[in-house]
Structure 1
């Protein structure tokens, strides 16, 4: 890890005085040096969700993703396997695929036409002489995993070994929605002028939802993501809890698990839960009815609630009977973050007949723009001389604390490996 001694010393001090249950200190959100450490210790060392399988349905289809200075090429090979490579020619390092997505027969360098097959093997390199060994110049592979249609990559030499634990837990929840048999109906990229951790913290709580997300709270119960009980809301909370029990029993009969699994402090941290939806109870839309008439998988009923799936450090996803919304966060700098949202429907659904893109995307387009504003408020506030870490709500911000604790723990582990000196971190990780 190429991190200066000054940055290591600063980080050790920040980590050691981090207070459990409080937001992080300002340098975590503002410092470009700490951002560089984040990219090395978090985004190079962990499984990062970057794409969805329907983006590359046929052999030769590819997408590219930028993680810091690294460009990753994700491609479907001739055997229909998903592969990932560094998007760099083995000749003199030119970028191979310069578009965000496309389709190729072979991977051809635009500079000197070195040609690789879809398995990354160098097939053709003109004027290199008889002694040249093509086998020693294949593309450099990147670790890739396909979890029920969600594609993750890891740039580490040895990726975290616990991905299969997440797979075993999540496939029963996700596979009935058959993401692999979907298509991307819409994709929207926005750049939020805030640190990636503020983006993730904002996602991990709904304390702000009622006041800021009128479109989203049409279908989401306000009690579903943490709430402090009071005499004024006790009746509503009791009714919600009864609804959860009743619906869980119905879903279990359909082989749709719903119980919470919470592993957010694992190295490959994740959480899932299926919850009822409010109003019509079918989908996250402006009327809580399905946005797509063609249901996913083999579903025959539209009222299947919303399955949420969160991963550390950079994604969250909502699975419904009719469509899936997938969010991937890519840091750009200490103060800018790309939030990529994809809406997926059944591959046979017909735009204009089975669904309208405007209706499909309305709730989360509005919510994303509202969240962008809130994150940017937070980024500007963190730059103030008056900023100091504030307390998380024990009722509504528990998942924010778990994100912060996971982050602090993973950074501490990375620095301890570098210096071979244990770090004391109050987060308990």
Structure 2
């Protein structure tokens, strides 16, 4: 077993063996966690919510990325704005609620008042020499990609977000999230390092034995398989699934739904992956009976059988878009061994609960799956603490995308450390 107790981070990164999981300190060390928050979550585009979280001028949403509390607002012109949630007077938090509606942003401590554009509008008793223009809220970069909200804490955010946005906009546009609403959201505190949560998401090797609800609308051969281990019947099934993907992509694209796989998980700073895949059974949605959960479809979609579009972004999100609803996921690290998984279910903004959809049916598959995954992540975290733990090999057939997540993570960490001249 490798002794990593006093090994510098740069050396740990350098000796990472591709095709294998990371060494234990990457999942357990508070020092490496601090580096993750600085380098990964402090310098990359982080998915934090959706436009329907703050649909109207004056709406605001807050969240924490490590020690940073952030406010995202919609200003009077309907534009998104983001700021550090810190009063410029003596540092009090401005907005204390997760979601709220405001006229201006008023600090309850001494009533310093800021506009939705971050300008300081009012500050009593500060003297004649006080320059309000120098004390506006500190801005944070914010972008909406067809209704998905990303922020970047760096002063110099990765510019290739524009590349991702250009490529992804046609895939996302038919689902029209800006004209959807959040039907339900749920937070889970997962008992594991954020990277374990992301690794778990990037494969379905574990799905057949752990996710009875999720596997109902999914085809088994979509999980990955070892061709050399298939018998004749299984090979015919795998070939039939490949033909189904080809024919489905052709049909969907003829209807204006881009579907082909695009994968840039470890060759871009703003890594992402997407593909539209067919669903099993009635083929309509991620539900227990594979039928649409909401009768009012998203956007201007008029056919529920357009499969499920998945969209992943590095470092912290994955999403599923069906014809009738969407499910979006964000992972926000809390400490070295705990992470916040925030899930939101979206339906058409005019859909009525109890009329157009049953909430339990809408959320059932992913609510169960999240609970199951949280337990699995906890098992991995417990194992990483063991003195017997050492990096294990990934399956080349079913875990190649986990490897790409780790490749991206190691590459981004090494790039930043090299740029700073750190060991």
Q: 2:176 aligned to 175, 178, 189, which one? A: 178
1:339 and 2:337 correspond:
no
Matched-pair contact (CA < 8 Å) for 1:178–1:297: yes
Q: 1:7, 1:33 within 8 Å by CA — same for their partners in 2? A: no
Instruction: Give the match for residue 259 of structure 1.
Output: 260
C-alpha contact (below 8 Å) 1:8/1:415 kept by paired residues: no
Aligned match of 2:29: 31
Partner of 1:424: none
1:111 aligns to what SS in structure 2?
coil
**1:278-318 superposed Cα distances (whole Å, 9 cap, x missing partner):** 00100000000000000011111000000000000000000
2:223 alignment partner, SS class = coil
Residue in 2 that maps onto 1:61: 59
In 2, Cα distance between equivalents of 1:331 and 1:225 = 27
Query: Is 1:114 aligned to 2:112, yes or no?
Result: yes
Is 1:44 the counterpart of 2:46? The answer is no
Shift of 1:228: 1.5
1:201–1:403: 8 Å Cα contact kept in structure 2?
yes
Which runs of structure 2 are paired with 1:286-305 in the superposition (5 Å)?
286-305=288-307
Structure 2, unpaired ranges of 5+ = none
TM-score (norm 2): 0.97
Measured against aligned partners, the alpha-carbon deviations of 1:319-363 in whole angstroms (never above 9, x if no partner) come to 000000000000000000000000000000000000111110000
CA contact (8 A) 1:7 1:34 kept: no
Aligned to 2:149: 151
For residues 234-383 of structure 1, the aligned pairs below 5 Å read 234-265=235-266, 266-383=268-385
CA distance in 2, matches of 1:278, 1:45: 39
Q: Deviations over 1:166-204 (max 9, x none)?
A: 000100000110000000000000001100000000000
In 1, Cα distance between the equivalents of 2:7 and 2:413? 13
Check the 8 A contact 1:309/1:316 in 2, yes or no.
yes
Q: Cα distance, 1:225 vs. partner?
A: 3.5
CA distance in 1, matches of 2:205, 2:62: 35
Give the number of equivalent residue pairs.
Answer: 416
CA contact (8 A) 1:294 1:349 kept: yes
2:49 match: secondary structure: strand
Q: Deviations over 1:237-271 (max 9, x none)?
A: 11111111111111011110110000111100000
Q: Deviations over 1:194-246 (max 9, x none)?
A: 00000000000000011110100110112113222211521211111111111
Q: What residue in structure 2 maps to residue 224 of structure 1? A: 222
Aligned equivalents of 1:227, 1:146: Cα separation in 2: 36
Bigger shift: residues 293-302 or 411-420? 411-420
Listed as ranges, the gaps of 5+ residues in structure 1 are 1-5, 422-429
1:427 corresponds in structure 2 to none
8 A Cα contact 1:86 1:142, kept in partner: yes
Deviation at 1:7, TM superposition (A): 9.9
Counterparts of 1:383-402 in structure 2 under 5 Å?
Answer: 383-402=385-404
The list of structure 1 runs, each at least 4 consecutive aligned residues, that deviate by more than 4 angstroms after superposition, is: 6-9
